[in-house]
């Protein structure tokens, strides 16, 4: 009886021992920082002085008196809402092409995934500077068709496109998720519909796409969240400036410049919170709209 | 009819291969350029260099101001090594508790774990930077490595929980009947069975830590502390376009470890993405 009681008590504590690292981690690296960050966002903390409470001033400045901030918002929104749909379209097209019972699927899938694996690296950002430079391979290829282009990364109206294409180039992981989804669609559906005389496009519109909508939603949210936070390519390709003329001043790059370049940590914290809210709102909107277009089978 | 299908198949293969060529062309171009003499990089358009040279690799390896890439690679591998140990140990411990043990507050703690996965890094990074600075951890790998020993990457905890949940509970029950406590069940029953989850954690920790430019940029500043990733960026700033060949050579070498990981562990990577939607 006593041993049983003792064992129960010790088992009562043991789970917390397993969880201890995680609990300390959450407290030290998530909970305390998140409240500190919220507090700092209402201060003018500059890393050396003491934080002074300035209320909403950072937030007001951002939207009324900081053209660079608004520019960074514009660049980031352009990036997210052009790159993500394009990326998903490519991912889905390739997944459908690869899902037609062809041989060598494993190899093709790996080859298409390769860019995603290295796409976030500095090496690829460096490569992209050259690929979209004045004599880069993209302009050489366009030259064959008689199209004469300036350096993409040196031209304000073109630079963000080089970054968008870098993102689209990395369609590998949504593609793999689409492929997994396509495999779940029962073959009977297609067989039944071809007996009814449905063509390939009809099958796509009435079977494939509706069945895949939960995965489209998932991929869209995942890619949107990661694109809002993109940093490395913009930093490396513009050598940390966001240039030319702020045309690649990504949100996180401007946040970095404020927080760790000028040590305006109060202001950078406010920026981080606005980003958090933006991501939250768009994720919520995606889920809200999903009632209208996502089909779940019962 | 059979012939039409055969032609269709050939056409699809051709389309897919054309896509692969376009996708991989930039990387092959980088490799090919790194093997060409400087004056040929922009004039010799063929992927197969007319003249081969390894000079860019020799010159590039010397790095910047006396620190060679040997140092940078050692730094990167050390960082990755500790990150992997940290993630594997702390995440599997937490995952076991969440998946198999009963305790007070489990529900809301699990909710907290899911929530931490959704917080953007940028909200946390400024207070963390201030904290690590106060601890005098600047210019060491501690700010990057230590949090990983505390299961801060909730994603891996979640992945491992899902994996443990798929294992039959009878195994633990049998071990309990044999007199095993939770610690022995964890080490003798669970750990050997969750090897695929551990491998997935290892691979993705490797790749993400290797490529994680932002944290390394924040915390590692001393010349002898730089990682391969940071050294490449320094190289770009210091040399500009003049040392393009060396820049390409070192860039290519920097992605080789990631390629190798992929080559050996393709199955785990693809299954990991398909089942959990990584990145």
Tell me the nearest-neighbour CA distance from A134 into chain B, angstroms: 11
Cβ contact (<8 Å) for A114 and B27?
yes
For B244-271, write each residue's pLDDT tens digit.
999 999 999 999 999 999 999 988 888 8
Beta bridge partners of A43: A53
A48 burial (CB, 10 Å; 0-12 / 13-18 / 19+) is exposed
- Whether ipTM exceeds 0.85: yes
Q: Which residue of B has its CA nearest to A231?
A: B214
- Is the pLDDT confidence value at B198 over 70? yes
Instruction: Quote the crossing angle between the two packed helices A265-293 and B121-134, to the nearest 10°.
Output: 150
- Going from N- to C-terminal start, the domains of chain B cover 2-53, 66-275
A21–B149 CB contact, under 8 Å: yes
Does residue A198 or residue B230 have the better pLDDT?
Answer: B230
Q: Are A70 and A249 in contact (CB under 8 A)?
A: no
Instruction: State residue B240's pLDDT score.
Output: 66
**CB-based contacts of A295, cutoff 8 Å, min separation 6:** A210, A211, A213, A214
Q: Residue A185 has what DSSP assignment?
A: S
Are A131 and A111 contacting, i.e. CB atoms less than 8 angstroms apart?
A: no
Cβ pair B122:A124 closer than 8 A: no
Instruction: List the single residue in B with minimal CA-CA distance to A183.
Output: B274
Query: CB contacts < 8 Å between A and B, how many?
Result: 244
Residue B241: its pLDDT value, please? 67
User: Can you tell me the distance from the alpha carbon of B110 to that of A17, in angstroms, rounded to the nearest whole number?
Assistant: 16
Which of A130, A184, A271 would best serve as a mutation to test chain B binding (most B beta carbons within 10 A)?
A130
Residue range A112-152, pLDDT digits in tens: 999 999 999 999 999 999 999 988 899 999 999 999 999 99
The structure tokens 């910047």 sit at: B64
Q: What band does B228 get if pLDDT is binned at 50, 70 and 90?
A: very high
Select the residue from A123, A153, A219, A227 to test the B interface by mutation, using most B Cβ atoms within 10 A. A123
pLDDT of residue A6: 47
Backbone angles phi, psi at B64, to 5 degrees: -120, 140
Average pLDDT, chain B: 93
Contact A13, A248 (CB under 8 A): no
pLDDT of residue B274: 86
pLDDT in tens, B54-105: 999 999 999 888 899 999 999 999 999 999 999 999 999 999 999 999 999 9
Q: Do A176 and B273 touch (CB under 8 A)?
A: yes
Q: What is the DSSP string of B42-97?
A: TT--SSS-SS---HHHHHHHT-BTTB-HHHHHHHHHHHHHHHHHHHHHHHHHHHHH
Query: Is the pLDDT confidence value at A9 over 70?
Result: no
| Of the candidates A151, A103, A128, A77, the residue with the CA atom closest to the CA atom of residue A233 | A128
Mutate to test the interface with A, among B26, B203, B250 (most CBs of A within 10 A): B26
Gap from A161 CA to chain B (nearest CA, Å)? 16
Q: What is the pLDDT of residues A164-178, one digit of tens each?
A: 999 999 999 999 999
Question: Nearest CA of chain B to the CA of A157: how many Å?
Answer: 23
Check: CB of residue B184 under 8 Å from CB of residue B256: no
Query: For position B270, what pLDDT does the model report?
Result: 87
The Cα-based distances of A199 to A206, A247, B171 in angstroms read 10, 45, 50
Burial class (CB in 10 A: 0-12, 13-18, 19+), A267: buried
Distance from the A201 Cα atom to the nearest Cα atom in chain B, whole angstroms: 17
Q: Do B23 and A114 touch (CB under 8 A)?
A: yes
Whole-angstrom distance, CA of residue B76 vs CA of residue B158: 26
Distance CA A251, CA A68 (A): 10
- List chain B residues with CB under 8 Å of A260: 129, 218
Q: What is the pLDDT of residue A274?
A: 98
State percent of chain A over pLDDT 90.
85
Torsions phi, psi for A238 (to 5 deg)? -95, 10
Considering just the CA atoms, what is the radius of gyration of chain B in Å? 24
Q: Do B124 and A37 lie within an 8 Å CB cutoff?
A: yes
End-to-end Cα spacing for chain A: 50
pLDDT averaged over every residue in chain A: 93
Contact: B236, A231; criterion CB under 8 Å = no
CATH topology of domain B66-275: MetI-like fold (1.10.3720)
Lowest average pLDDT, out of A269-283, B138-152, B161-175, goes to B161-175
CB contact under 8 A, B127 and A126: no
pTM of the model: 0.94
Q: Is the pLDDT of residue A2 over 60?
A: no
């Amino acid at each position: 009886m006593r041993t049983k009681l003792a064992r129960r008590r010790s088992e009562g504590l043991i789970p917390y021992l397993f969880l201890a690292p995680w609990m300390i981690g959450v407290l030290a690296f998530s909970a305390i920082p998140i409240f500190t960050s919220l507090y700092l966002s209402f201060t003018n903390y500059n890393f050396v002085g003491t934080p002074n409470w300035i209320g909403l001033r950072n937030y007001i400045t951002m939207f009324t008196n900081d053209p660079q901030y608004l520019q960074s918002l514009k660049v980031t929104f352009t990036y997210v809402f052009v790159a993500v749909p394009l990326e998903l379209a490519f991912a889905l097209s390739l997944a459908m092409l690869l899902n037609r019972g062809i041989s060598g699927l494993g190899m093709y899938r790996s080859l298409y995934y390769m860019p995603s694996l290295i796409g976030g690296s500095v090496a690829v950002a460096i490569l992209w500077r050259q690929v979209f430079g004045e004599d880069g391979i993209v302009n050489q290829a366009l030259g064959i068709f008689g199209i004469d282009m300036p350096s993409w990364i040196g031209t304000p109206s073109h630079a963000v496109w080089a970054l968008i294409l870098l993102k689209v180039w990395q369609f590998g992981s949504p593609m793999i998720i689409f492929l997994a989804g396509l495999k779940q669609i029962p073959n009977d559906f297609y067989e039944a519909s071809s007996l009814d005389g449905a063509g390939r496009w009809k099958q796509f519109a009435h079977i494939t796409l509706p069945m895949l909508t939960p995965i489209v939603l998932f991929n869209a949210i995942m890619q949107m969240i990661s694109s809002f936070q993109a940093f490395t390519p913009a930093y490396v390709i513009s050598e940390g400036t966001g240039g030319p003329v702020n045309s690649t001043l990504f949100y996180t790059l401007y946040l970095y410049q404020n927080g760790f370049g000028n040590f305006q940590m109060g202001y950078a914290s406010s920026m981080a919170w606005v980003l958090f809210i933006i991501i939250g709102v768009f994720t919520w909107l995606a889920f809200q709209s999903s009632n209208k277009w996502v089909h779940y089978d019962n | 009819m059979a012939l039409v299908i055969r032609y269709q198949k050939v056409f699809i293969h051709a389309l897919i291969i054309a896509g692969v060529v376009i996708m991989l062309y930039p990387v092959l171009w980088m490799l090919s350029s790194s093997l060409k003499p400087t004056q040929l990089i922009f004039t010799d358009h063929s992927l197969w260099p007319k003249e081969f040279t390894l000079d860019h690799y020799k010159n590039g390896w010397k790095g910047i101001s006396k620190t060679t890439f040997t140092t940078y690679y050692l730094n990167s591998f050390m960082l990755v090594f500790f990150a992997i140990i940290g993630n594997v140990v702390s995440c599997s411990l937490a995952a076991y508790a969440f998946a198999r043990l009963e305790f007070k507050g489990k529900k809301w703690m699990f909710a907290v774990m899911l929530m931490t996965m959704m917080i953007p890094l940028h909200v946390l990074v400024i207070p963390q930077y201030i904290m690590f600075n106060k601890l005098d951890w600047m210019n060491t790998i501690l700010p990057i490595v230590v949090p990983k020993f505390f299961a801060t990457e909730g994603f891996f905890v979640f992945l491992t929980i899902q994996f443990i949940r798929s294992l039959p509970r009878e195994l633990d029950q049998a071990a309990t009947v044999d007199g095993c406590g939770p610690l022995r069940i964890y080490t003798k029953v669970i750990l050997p069975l969750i090897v695929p989850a551990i491998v997935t954690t290892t691979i993705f920790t490797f790749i993400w830590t290797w490529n994680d430019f932002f944290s390394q940029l924040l915390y590692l500043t001393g010349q002898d502390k730089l990682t391969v990733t940071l050294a490449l960026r320094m190289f770009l700033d210091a040399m500009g376009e003049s040392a393009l060949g060396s820049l390409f050579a070192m860039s290519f070498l920097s992605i080789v470890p990631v390629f190798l990981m992929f080559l050996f562990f393709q199955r785990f990577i693809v299954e990991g993405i398909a089942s959990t939607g990584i990145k």
